[in-house]
């Protein structure tokens, strides 16, 4: 009987650090999005961090509906990062849900929420 492949504890700690950083950043971005909807409910024209971020990226200001869609996408992304963190904690992170093989490190670095290899 062969042992299921898995990443070492050292590797998992590295992935965990990355996931923590991504979760923190994603939550900050979510907060900015939520503030943008709060500000759009008023007639206040004061610049917000979100408006400044959008201006820096040279993007027009989104409609309230677009912001709400982005809020939901951000919440989904945070949930997928948290699910990845659970997999790190139970040491199943990086194991393909379809094949049971290790997902290549390069894929996990590019897409930390990946649950499958590219076939």
**Considering the chain, what percentage of its residues have pLDDT values greater than 70?**
77
Q: Token pair for residue 115?
A: 């649950």
List the beta bridge partners of residue 102: 95
Q: What element of type H or E holds 14?
A: helix 9-40
Per-residue model confidence as pLDDT tens digits over 16-29: 999 999 999 999 99
Gap between the Cα atoms of 21 and 109, Å rounded: 13
Helix-then-strand count for the chain, H and E: 4, 0
Closest CA relative to residue 5, chosen from 103, 81, 114: 103
pTM exceeds cut of 0.85: no
Where exactly are the structural domains of the chain? 12-92
**pLDDT tens digit sequence for 37-67:** 776 555 454 456 656 666 666 566 667 788 8
Q: Residue 33 and residue 61: Cα distance in Å, rounded?
A: 12
**57 close to 77: Cβ distance less than 8 angstroms:** no
């Amino acid at each position: 009987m062969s042992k299921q492949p898995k990443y070492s504890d050292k590797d998992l700690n590295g992935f965990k650090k990355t996931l923590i950083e991504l979760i923190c950043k994603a939550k900050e971005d979510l907060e900015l999005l939520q503030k943008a909807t709060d500000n759009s409910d008023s007639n206040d024209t004061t610049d917000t961090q979100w408006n400044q971020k959008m201006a820096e990226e040279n993007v027009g200001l989104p409609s309230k509906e677009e912001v709400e869609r982005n809020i939901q996408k951000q919440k989904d992304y945070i949930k997928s990062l948290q699910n990845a963190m659970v997999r790190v904690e139970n040491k199943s992170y990086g194991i393909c849900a379809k094949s049971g093989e290790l997902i290549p490190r390069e894929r996990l670095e590019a897409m930390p929420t990946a649950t499958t290899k590219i076939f």
